[in-house]
């Protein structure tokens, strides 16, 4: 859900220069589309999506992307096993972007996709706001002769 929510927020904000992708730390869902209850929640919220093929994250993803944002601490532990230590400081917990040091509500066990959506939405908004300020700061202070 997070990939689709972030893409929609960027579309609404007319930001087209961010590459947003998602990948799993496990192999359980490789090749599968978005989980049907997650699709229902995205439809309910008016978030567009296409067929999405699940894939596992790789070391190449770590090397390529500037940020690797995980929904929960378990994902971070598995990620470390797959790619090694986060030597570049790219990995973060999604809710940390909101100032909360907790995992995104996990609908896998509770079936509560609304709670997960709310955590994802507030996190994506916080991430986008902070990234926009990074770009603003870096662009608004040109070197002076």
Distance (Å, whole) CA 38 – CA 43: 9
Q: What are phi and psi of 137, to 5 degrees?
A: -60, -45
pTM of the model: 0.88
Angle subtended at Cα 6 by Cα 4 and Cα 10, rounded to the nearest 5 degrees: 115
> What CATH number is given for 2-127 in this structure?
3.40.50.2300
Q: 36 — phi, psi (to 5°)?
A: -50, -45
Name which of 59, 60, 84, 57 is nearest 70 in CA terms.
57
Domain ranges for the chain, please list them: 2-127
pLDDT tens digits in sequence order for the chain, 145 residues long: 999 999 999 999 988 788 999 999 999 999 999 999 999 999 999 999 999 999 999 999 999 999 999 999 999 999 999 999 999 999 999 999 999 999 999 998 899 999 999 999 999 999 999 887 765 544 444 443 3
d(CA 105, CA 115) in angstroms, rounded, equals 6
């Amino acid at each position: 859900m997070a990939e689709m929510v972030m893409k929609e927020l960027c579309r609404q904000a007319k930001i087209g220069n961010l590459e947003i992708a998602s990948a799993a730390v496990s192999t359980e869902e490789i090749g599968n589309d978005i989980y049907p209850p997650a699709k229902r929640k995205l439809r309910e919220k008016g978030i567009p999506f296409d067929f999405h093929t699940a894939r596992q994250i790789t070391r190449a993803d770590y090397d390529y992307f500037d940020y690797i944002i995980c929904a929960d601490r378990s994902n971070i532990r598995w990620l470390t096993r797959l790619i090694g230590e986060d030597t570049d400081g790219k990995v973060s917990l999604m809710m940390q972007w909101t100032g909360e040091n907790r995992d995104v509500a996990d609908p896998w066990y509770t079936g509560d996709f609304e709670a997960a959506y709310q955590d994802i939405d507030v996190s994506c908004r916080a991430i986008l706001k902070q990234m926009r300020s990074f770009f603003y700061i870096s662009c608004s202070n040109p070197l002076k002769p």
